[in-house]
Amino acid sequence: MFDQEPFGVLEIENLLPNLRGEGILGKRKIEIPYSLPGDVYDVYKFGKRKVFYKWNPTHLEPRVSSPRCPSFGECGGCSGQHLPYLEQFKLTSEPILKGLENFNPINKGVSPAEFSYSYRNRMDFAVFPGRVVGLRMSGNFRRIVKIENCSIQTDWANSEIPLFQKLLESFPELEYDRKKETGYLKYFTLRKSVFTDDSMSILTFTEDFKNEDLMQRVAEKAKEILSAKNIVFCFNRKKGEISASGEAIAVRGNIYLIEEIWGKKFKIPFDGFFQPNPKEFIKILEFIKSKIKPAENLADLFCGSGFFSILFGEKFSRILGIDIVQSSVSAGEEFLQEVFPDKTIEFLAFDLFHKKGLEKMSSANLPWKDSVVIADPPRSGLSPELCAFLNSNPVSQLIYISCNPENLLRDARILEESYQMEEFLLCDPFPQTPHLEAVSIFFPKNR
């Protein structure tokens, strides 16, 4: 497989929370994805200044669980299909539960996923020359694995992929060539509502495509071939490896998707975030619903288009939403004013990770001691500065939702200055991956 002698032979000794196998070669620990204890690999060493390893299996233990995806192991999307699901969940959840012992919440819950396949409501596929549509290769961002059927996305999304291939066949060389900088189409994104029948196909082009006569012909053909209720064309710079982002037009339908939770409808902008597995995330919502306390104000941090404000805003007189994405903030404020016409609604667009953003939040003139704060930050968690702000302005209740529970526990150590963690729930909306979701509820110590 490699044009050199192996550096050594490695046997996998145990599995890690990231679902990779680990073995020791010399004094170095090496992680190998998709492996099991007892697997044996010839390991090859490359590089001088920056050393990296590759491997070739010489013995593989029998697999109890058979991956549904034929590209598993090559595609970088899933990391656990070679393991029974409950074993995955045990591996990923154990370190979080151990770290939680330092905080001793009054109540803590653990909830594995009910369905481990066909759950994801959004997928972003790269488009390469030769009508190659797929996901990034494991360990190599420059190459993609052609995907015809993805086992973790919705059935509707899998039915839309062959239609998209048919569209590409109608326009040779429409795909953007990243080496030659020719062509236009870079990404194909599929979004599907779970609790309504709404659907969206998003085609991301280079920004020069919007000035081409070809665009109108592609738009007409897309409406003829694709089944999505909403078809969106968006445009961004050639060098930008970003999908579903930039200036956008609706070729059919709207530039937003309609989702529904508890009878309440949500307008999700084509580029806006929404929970990738709403059916499983309902557990988080039910938990919050049972624990949230009435107060005068709700501060929805990292609010997106107002997901939590819409669900829980009826309990409050004033709602403040903050997010960095202007389109989401605008959509959220407009929709909240429709849902709660008698309440004071203010949605602001600024960066909560930046000093100036915290200064703006300070000037929001909220009586923090009579406010409930819901924070749903990105994977990086809250910044030390934002934690310090919350410590200096103790709120009546802090509800912290995290897609990176380790960072939630990290931030909780800072928040201990002013808060006590009383409730905790760990869920798994991301089966077949090492990622989990958690929600923790804090109360001020001197209440």
The CATH number linked to 361 is: 3.40.50.150
Comparing 349 with 193, the larger pLDDT belongs to 193
> Once rounded to an integer, what is the mean pLDDT over residues 385-403?
96
Domain housing 93: 87-115+276-444
**Would you say 397 is a known binding-site residue?**
no
Q: Domain check: are 405 and 349 in the same one? A: yes
Strand partners, 14: 22
Residue 183, in any domain of the structure: yes
Residue 75, in any domain of the structure: no
> Once rounded to an integer, what is the mean pLDDT over residues 229-233?
98
Of the candidates 213, 245, 269, which is a domain's last residue?
Answer: 269
DSSP for 285-329, please give it.
HHHHHHH----SEEEEET-TTTHHHHHHGGG-SEEEEEES-HHHH
Judge whether 2 and 44 are in contact, CB under 8 Å: yes
Note the pLDDT tens digit of each residue in 59-113. 999 999 999 999 998 998 999 999 999 999 999 999 999 999 999 999 999 999 9
**Would you say 197 is a known binding-site residue?**
no
Model pTM?
0.89
DSSP annotation of 61: P
Judge whether 189 and 127 are in contact, CB under 8 Å: no
Residue 73, in any domain of the structure: no
**Would you say 326 is a known binding-site residue?**
no
User: Over the chain, what is the mean pLDDT?
Assistant: 94
Range from 143-157, 166-180, 358-372 carrying the lowest mean pLDDT = 358-372
Q: Domain check: are 158 and 135 in the same one? A: yes
Q: Which band of pLDDT confidence, cut at 50, 70 and 90, is reported for residue 362? A: confident
Is it the case that residue 447 has pLDDT exceeding 70?
A: no
Judge whether 363 and 415 are in contact, CB under 8 Å: no
Q: Domain check: are 181 and 239 in the same one? A: yes
Q: Domain check: are 179 and 250 in the same one? A: yes
Q: How confident is the model at residue 328, as a pLDDT?
A: 81
Q: How confident is the model at residue 50, as a pLDDT?
A: 87
Residue 78, in any domain of the structure: no
Distance from chain centroid for Cα 380: 12
Judge whether 392 and 416 are in contact, CB under 8 Å: no
Distance from chain centroid for Cα 401: 13
Number of domains the chain contains: 3
Integer Cα distance of 45 and 30 in angstroms: 11
Q: Is 434 exposed, middle or buried (0-12, 13-18, 19+ CB in 10 A)?
A: middle
Comparing 6 with 169, the larger pLDDT belongs to 169
Integer Cα distance of 276 and 261 in angstroms: 14
Residue 153, in any domain of the structure: yes
Q: Domain check: are 232 and 309 in the same one? A: no
Q: How confident is the model at residue 1, as a pLDDT?
A: 65
Strand partners, 404: none
Q: Domain check: are 414 and 305 in the same one? A: yes
Residue 81, in any domain of the structure: no
Q: How confident is the model at residue 34, as a pLDDT?
A: 94
Q: How confident is the model at residue 190, as a pLDDT?
A: 98
Q: Domain check: are 307 and 426 in the same one? A: yes
Q: Domain check: are 432 and 294 in the same one? A: yes
Is it the case that residue 305 has pLDDT exceeding 90?
A: no
> Once rounded to an integer, what is the mean pLDDT over residues 270-285?
92
Q: How confident is the model at residue 269, as a pLDDT?
A: 87
Integer Cα distance of 309 and 274 in angstroms: 14
Q: Which band of pLDDT confidence, cut at 50, 70 and 90, is reported for residue 357? A: confident
Of the candidates 231, 253, 269, which is a domain's last residue?
Answer: 269
Q: Domain check: are 145 and 173 in the same one? A: yes
Q: Domain check: are 180 and 282 in the same one? A: no
DSSP annotation of 338: H
DSSP for 108-177, please give it.
EEEE--S--SS-BSEEEEEEETTTEEEEEETTEEEEEEE-S--TTB-HHHHHHHHHHHHHHHTSTT-B-B
**Would you say 420 is a known binding-site residue?**
no
Judge whether 339 and 305 are in contact, CB under 8 Å: no
Residues with catalytic annotation?
403
Kindly state the percentage of the chain with pLDDT values over 90: 81
Residue 69, in any domain of the structure: no
Q: How confident is the model at residue 256, as a pLDDT?
A: 92
Comparing 180 with 328, the larger pLDDT belongs to 180
Integer Cα distance of 224 and 220 in angstroms: 6
Residue 3, in any domain of the structure: no
Domain containing residue 149: CATH number: 2.40.50.1070
Q: Which band of pLDDT confidence, cut at 50, 70 and 90, is reported for residue 183? A: very high
Is it the case that residue 364 has pLDDT exceeding 80?
A: no
Q: Domain check: are 221 and 297 in the same one? A: no
> Once rounded to an integer, what is the mean pLDDT over residues 236-245?
93
Q: Tokens representing 81?
A: 């299909």
Q: How confident is the model at residue 325, as a pLDDT?
A: 83
Burial 201-231 (b: 16+ CB within 10 A, else e): bbbbbbeebbeeeebeebbeebeebbebbbb
Among residues 79, 82, 35, the alpha carbon closest in space to that of 56 is found at 35
Strand partners, 373: 299, 398
Integer Cα distance of 253 and 257 in angstroms: 9
Q: Domain check: are 100 and 148 in the same one? A: no
